[in-house]
Structure 1
Amino acid sequence: MHPLMRLRPALLAASLLVAAPAAAQAQRLSLTSTDLSRETKIGNRHVFNGFGCSGQNVSPQLAWKNAPAGTKSFAITAYDPDAPTGSGWWHWVVYDIPATTTALPSGAGSTTPAALPAGAVQGTTDFGAKGYGGPCPPPGDKPHRYIFTVHALKVAKLDVPATATAAMIGFNINANRLASATLTARYGR
């Protein structure tokens, strides 16, 4: 057998290994927003109204695509790792979002149940209330990062009590996550 004929299977296998990650990457869960950008400061419309901040406290529009096979529900979290608490700050936690949902409109995080898809539940944030709580870092801090994450879950419903903390909900999200995608925006004052 000619030496090049022996190399052919190895070259074919190598080319498949290179092509497979590229194809998988093209189908990776992704998160976008018409209201948030990595390059600009979060607008006052999405800033908290309280604690010395005077925003409108409207949750941003979020959209996602390419959920993995087996996705039975989604969860959304918004977290500030830069909050001077020692443990960050949970700004928004929504779970049990139906698997057929691919976006939340601006304002979906209000406390009005009709603002979210049927069955979706909002958890208690570190503001001590359910629903979206926008950015409001201490004056003079460097701009904080606000990490919005969509989580594709392998369960239709998270088994958490209505009084669950954001940390407990986060634990259950992590235990049931198939994939996640993030969008990080910044805000300072």
Structure 2
Amino acid sequence: MAIHRTKAPDPYDLLPEKPSFTLESDDVADGQPIDLRFVHDSSGGENVSPALRWSGFPDETKGFAVTCYDPDAPTHSGFWHWVVVNLPADTTALETGAGASSDKLPNGAFHVRNDYGAQQWGGPAPPPGDGPHRYVVAVHALDVDALEVTPDASPAYVGFNLAFHTLARAVIRPTYENAG
């Protein structure tokens, strides 16, 4: 049975506007369907995180965080798929599969638990027949080299910290639909 509802606003439309910079990927594209390789294994995918690379961020950037959020999830709070914090300022890319574990990240960076309860990438897995979902992948350029959070922090708590430390933000919004 399909759930019919109005799509949620983009999460960054609700926060103070920030300058933008460039975010690119050879694995996912803005407004385009995500390949099954990057979809959660519960929906028949391989649950591999996409490669990302970024440039043009402010010179005063001291670190980065990467997030992936589904505002269209049938919940009151959306669904967090990926939260990576404390990426060093000289990090300008994550390779395909970097979301498998914190061991695949630059020194000092780590995954915060996602809404699957795992400290790694959790690919799309919308309910069958729920229509296309947007996956808001964001790289946040920060005014600190490390957020004061732990791997057990909630994504909402990380988001609260990001609101106060984000200098600029780069975003792409690929989509995925589970036709069932």
TM-score range, shorter chain: 0.7 to 0.9
- Residue 105 (structure 1) shift: 0.3
Q: How many residues align?
A: 160
* Root-mean-square deviation (Å): 1.2
TM-score under structure 2 length normalisation: 0.86
Stretches of structure 2 that go unaligned for 5 or more consecutive residues are 1-18
170-179 vs 33-42, greater mean Cα deviation: 33-42
Asked if residue 46 in structure 1 is aligned to residue 54 in structure 2, the reply is: no
- Residue 173 (structure 1) shift: 1.2
* Separation in structure 1 between the aligned mates of residue 121 and residue 142 of structure 2, nearest angstrom: 21
Match of 1:90, SS?
Answer: strand
Superposition misfits of 4+ residues, deviation over 6 angstroms: none
Asked if residue 36 in structure 1 is aligned to residue 36 in structure 2, the reply is: no
Structure with the bigger RCO (C-alpha within 8 Å, sep 6+) is 2
Q: Which structure: larger Rg? A: 1
Of 53, 63, 77, 2:67 maps to 77
CA contact (8 A) 2:31 2:173 kept: no
Asked if residue 133 in structure 1 is aligned to residue 122 in structure 2, the reply is: yes
Of 49, 52, 59, 2:49 maps to 59
* Separation in structure 2 between the aligned mates of residue 109 and residue 162 of structure 1, nearest angstrom: 14
Stretches of structure 1 that go unaligned for 5 or more consecutive residues are 1-26
TM-score under structure 1 length normalisation: 0.82
Letter in 1 for 2:153: A
- Residue 109 (structure 1) shift: 0.3
CA contact (8 A) 2:112 2:150 kept: no
* Separation in structure 2 between the aligned mates of residue 66 and residue 28 of structure 1, nearest angstrom: 8
More helix by share: 1
| CA displacement, residues 138-188 of structure 1 (integer Å, 9 cap, x when unaligned) | 000111000000000000110113321000011111110000010000000
Alignment of 1:1-189 (within 5 A): 28-50=20-42, 53-111=43-101, 113-189=102-178
Match of 1:109, SS?
Answer: helix
- Residue 40 (structure 1) shift: 3.0
